[in-house]
Structure 1
Amino acid sequence: MKYLPIDRELFIKNRKNFAAQMEPKSLAIFNSNDIYPISADSTMPFEQHRDIFYLSGVDQEESVLVIFPDCPNPKNREVLFLKETNEHIAVWEGEKLTKEKAFETSGIKTVYWLKDMEKVLFELMTQCDTVYINTNEHYRANVETETREARFAKWLKDKYPAHRVAKSNPILQRLRSVKDPVEIALMQKACDITEKGFRRVLDFVKPGVWEFEIEAEFMHEFLRNRSKGFAYTPIIASGNNANVLHYVENNQKCKAGDLILFDVAAEYANYSSDLSRTIPVSGKFTKRQKEVYNAVLKVKDEATKLLVPGTLWAEYHVEVGKLMTSELLGLGLLDKADVQNENPDWPAYKKYFMHGTSHHIGLDTHDYGILTEPMQPNMVFTVEPGIYIPDEGFGIRLEDDVVVQPSGEPFNLMANIPIKAEEIEDLMNQ
């Protein structure tokens, strides 16, 4: 891994918190992700399943974690199954976790090779009544591929039909949404790497550069700072491309007078950051561009203040809608009749700001969190309002990542990343 070792106490604590929510005489099982094929012998780069990483720190394929707090044999209350390493694998693929290294990483003392799993698991299953399986219940999930986790759950229920089945996901949704200080520090590192990339790009952009060249500048800076790259598919959208919310082609030339909307950020140690900034290709905003820019910035700053303990996500978005409506009226994009006659299910402001303002962020860019439950301290949210005006040839989105505090305004993990229009102009014209 490119990232520096993480203190295993984080994973020990995470397992303890998970186990405390389990029913008596139950065990929970978590699988690594598959390595997904492309064609022939080509594969996608491996990405660890975030749940097994959260609970163990193991960042390797073909790994399985079992948590069994009430196991009669204390040795088997926490168990890792790993792909057995050997000299041949070391030569062709590189070093894999040894049992000793797995303990250093996770704090789990009992490690078996994967070939022994069915035998060991049979013994454990005879000692429990309930088994927690891990299903993906994120509100944005749209999974068509049968995952390793799904195949395993199918096999387990077929082999042990008399066991009661429970779900890990509701426990993890709550645990993962509230970040440990160690996690917040890792996210800060991801944000700091993103800052380096953005400052590099401010010095690089000028009329005539291509969007993909800017993407390359970000990637260069991310990799040289121990990130494995982008936390999500990067958006480098110049001119009217910014009005396509998920524009990812990044294949157009940046023209004088246009704006570029960036939605691009680094990961670090599997933790995401999520940044949006909008800059002028020529290094100077027009009067109209700056008016719209400052309106978006005002909404962002005011929306951030609303992310406090007890806030409900749905009510928060209603309040942000009111802030945006006020700004759009001031810009002349809406008039009073538009607002008076609006459809409550699709308010007038949605013509220019059609997406949500905030989502949980953490190990996943759109991280775990139950949206019907109140916000809590140490939850981390994006704040990302935007105004999109195809008729004027530009769109503006501004986004930071903030930590909900026990009292007062959230802590901005991206406070050092330039955002004021004048600061961006000054940096681009040094």
Structure 2
Amino acid sequence: MKYSPIHNLLFIQNRKNFVSKMKPLSLAVFNSNDIYPISADSTMPFQQHRDIFYLSGVDQEESILVLFPDCPKEKHREILFLKETNEHLAIWEGEKLTKDAAYATSGIKTVYWLQDMEKIMYELMTQCDTIYINTNEHYRSSVETETREDRYTKWLKDKYPAHAVAKSATILQNLRSVKNQIEIDLIQQACNITEKGFRRVLNFLKPDVWEYEIEAEFMHEFLRNRSKGFAYSPIIASGNNANVLHYLENNKQCKSGDLLLLDVAAEYANYSSDMTRTIPVSGRYTQRQKDVYNAVNRVKIEATKMLVPGTDWANYHIEVGKLMTSELLSLGLLNKADVQNENPDWPAYKKYFMHGTSHHMGLDTHDYGILTDPMQANMVFTVEPGIYIPEEGFGIRLEDDVVIQNSGAPLNLMKNIPIEIEEIEDLMNS
């Protein structure tokens, strides 16, 4: 890992919070992700399953976490099973976690090698009544690949069919949505790295550079600041490409007079940031571009103010839609008849602003969170309104990451990333 060590108090507290929600005489199991193959002997870079990382800090493959708070043996109330490190492995792949290193990382004292897992699990399963399995129930998930977690769950349920089954997902959706201060600091670090990348690009961008060259500038700055790279697939969209919401090709040339939409952000220690800025390829916005840009920024500012404890996510989007409708009327993109005759299920403003304004953010860019629950302090949300005008050849989106506070305005983790027109133009022309 490139990132600095994380204090294990974070993972100790996360486990304490999780087990406090478990049923009596129950056991929960969490698996690492697989290393996924590409072809021949090639593999994709390893990405740890966020849940086992959240609860242990373990960031390597072939790892299993078991939580059994009512276990008669105190040493078996928290267990890590790890791939055994050895001299051969250390030479070819680098040393894996030792038992001492695993304890320092996670705060878990009992660490076994994986070859002992079935024997130990047999003992534990004779002592518990319920097993918590870990399923992906995120509202945007669409997974066709069988994961290591899936395979382990099948094995466990087949071998021990008499046990009751419960879901970890419900507990984790609630816990992971509210951030510990250590987590907020890690997200802030990711935002700070994103800022460095953005400032680098402001100095680099000029007419005729290619979108992929901009992507390379971000990656250079991210890597040199201890990020492993992008928190999600970067969108580097010049001109009309900005009107494709998930444009990922990044292979067009940036033309004079065009705007460049950048939906790009760094990860740090598996925590995401999520930024969007829209900047002029030539270093200056036209008056029309300024008018639309300022409209989007006004909506963002007012939408941010609404992110307070108790806010209902669905109603929040209705209110943001009203703000956007007003701006689109002022810009001449909508008229009163469009609004009066709109379909309530697809309001008129959706022609130019068709996506949501905010989503949970944390270990995942679209992080865990139950959208029907009121917002709480220490939840982290994006704020990302946009206006997309294909007939005029540009789209503008602006996005920051904010932390809901107990009182007062949300804390903007991206407050130092330039967003006002004057500052962006000054930096690009200095």
TM range, normalised to the smaller chain?
Answer: over 0.9
Matching of residue 412 in structure 1 with residue 409 in structure 2: no
Report the alpha carbon displacement of residue 63 of structure 1 after superposing the two structures with TM.
0.1
- Report what 2:280 is aligned to: 280
Q: Which residue type is aligned with residue 117 of structure 2?
A: M
Q: Which residue type is aligned with residue 293 of structure 1?
A: Y
* Map 1:264-413 → 2, pairs under 5 A: 264-413=264-413
Secondary structure of the residue aligned to 1:102 is helix
Report the alpha carbon displacement of residue 39 of structure 1 after superposing the two structures with TM.
0.4
Report the alpha carbon displacement of residue 167 of structure 1 after superposing the two structures with TM.
0.2
- Report what 1:81 is aligned to: 81
* Map 1:116-265 → 2, pairs under 5 A: 116-265=116-265
- Report what 2:105 is aligned to: 105
- Which 5+ residue runs of structure 2 have no aligned equivalent? none
Secondary structure of the residue aligned to 2:166 is strand
Could you tell me how far apart the structure 2 residues matched to 1:200 and 1:277 are? Answer: 13
Q: Which residue type is aligned with residue 132 of structure 1?
A: Y
Q: Which residue type is aligned with residue 85 of structure 2?
A: T
Could you tell me how far apart the structure 1 residues matched to 2:346 and 2:154 are? Answer: 41
Per-residue Cα deviation, 1:72-103 (whole angstroms, up to 9, x for no partner): 00010000000001000000000100000000
Could you tell me how far apart the structure 2 residues matched to 1:223 and 1:138 are? Answer: 29
Could you tell me how far apart the structure 2 residues matched to 1:48 and 1:390 are? Answer: 39
Report the alpha carbon displacement of residue 66 of structure 1 after superposing the two structures with TM.
0.2
Q: Which residue type is aligned with residue 107 of structure 1?
A: G
Q: Which residue type is aligned with residue 405 of structure 1?
A: Q
Secondary structure of the residue aligned to 2:81 is strand
Secondary structure of the residue aligned to 1:85 is coil
Could you tell me how far apart the structure 1 residues matched to 2:155 and 2:143 are? Answer: 19
Q: Which residue type is aligned with residue 173 of structure 1?
A: Q
- Which 5+ residue runs of structure 1 have no aligned equivalent? none
Per-residue Cα deviation, 1:247-287 (whole angstroms, up to 9, x for no partner): 00000000000000000000000000000000000000000
Secondary structure of the residue aligned to 2:334 is coil
Report the alpha carbon displacement of residue 361 of structure 1 after superposing the two structures with TM.
0.2
Could you tell me how far apart the structure 2 residues matched to 1:342 and 1:192 are? Answer: 42
- Report what 1:2 is aligned to: 2
Per-residue Cα deviation, 1:320-352 (whole angstroms, up to 9, x for no partner): 000000000000000000000000000000000
Could you tell me how far apart the structure 2 residues matched to 1:368 and 1:201 are? Answer: 31
Secondary structure of the residue aligned to 1:219 is helix
Matching of residue 62 in structure 1 with residue 62 in structure 2: yes
- Report what 1:93 is aligned to: 93
Could you tell me how far apart the structure 1 residues matched to 2:341 and 2:91 are? Answer: 69
Report the alpha carbon displacement of residue 183 of structure 1 after superposing the two structures with TM.
0.2
Secondary structure of the residue aligned to 2:69 is coil
Report the alpha carbon displacement of residue 384 of structure 1 after superposing the two structures with TM.
0.2
Could you tell me how far apart the structure 2 residues matched to 1:147 and 1:393 are? Answer: 42
Could you tell me how far apart the structure 1 residues matched to 2:95 and 2:87 are? Answer: 9
**TM-score (normalizing by structure 2):** 1.00
Report the alpha carbon displacement of residue 236 of structure 1 after superposing the two structures with TM.
0.2
Q: Which runs of 4+ in 1 moved over 6 A?
A: none
Per-residue Cα deviation, 1:15-59 (whole angstroms, up to 9, x for no partner): 000000000000100000000000000000000000000000000
Secondary structure of the residue aligned to 1:38 is strand
Report the alpha carbon displacement of residue 403 of structure 1 after superposing the two structures with TM.
0.1
Identity %: 81
Could you tell me how far apart the structure 2 residues matched to 1:410 and 1:358 are? Answer: 13
Secondary structure of the residue aligned to 2:279 is strand
Per-residue Cα deviation, 1:336-380 (whole angstroms, up to 9, x for no partner): 000000000000000000000000000000000000000000000
- Report what 2:12 is aligned to: 12
* Pairs aligned (count): 430
**TM-score (normalizing by structure 1):** 1.00
Could you tell me how far apart the structure 2 residues matched to 1:129 and 1:78 are? Answer: 17
Secondary structure of the residue aligned to 1:79 is strand
Could you tell me how far apart the structure 1 residues matched to 2:75 and 2:58 are? Answer: 19
Report the alpha carbon displacement of residue 408 of structure 1 after superposing the two structures with TM.
1.0
Report the alpha carbon displacement of residue 229 of structure 1 after superposing the two structures with TM.
0.1
Could you tell me how far apart the structure 2 residues matched to 1:338 and 1:406 are? Answer: 39
Could you tell me how far apart the structure 2 residues matched to 1:20 and 1:320 are? Answer: 37
Could you tell me how far apart the structure 1 residues matched to 2:75 and 2:103 are? Answer: 13
Q: Which residue type is aligned with residue 224 of structure 1?
A: R
Could you tell me how far apart the structure 1 residues matched to 2:344 and 2:426 are? Answer: 42
Q: Which residue type is aligned with residue 96 of structure 1?
A: K
Report the alpha carbon displacement of residue 387 of structure 1 after superposing the two structures with TM.
0.2
Secondary structure of the residue aligned to 1:112 is strand
Q: Which residue type is aligned with residue 159 of structure 2?
A: K
Could you tell me how far apart the structure 1 residues matched to 2:155 and 2:292 are? Answer: 55
Per-residue Cα deviation, 1:152-209 (whole angstroms, up to 9, x for no partner): 1111110000000000000000000000000000000000000000000000000010
Could you tell me how far apart the structure 2 residues matched to 1:2 and 1:39 are? Answer: 26
Q: Which residue type is aligned with residue 16 of structure 1?
A: K
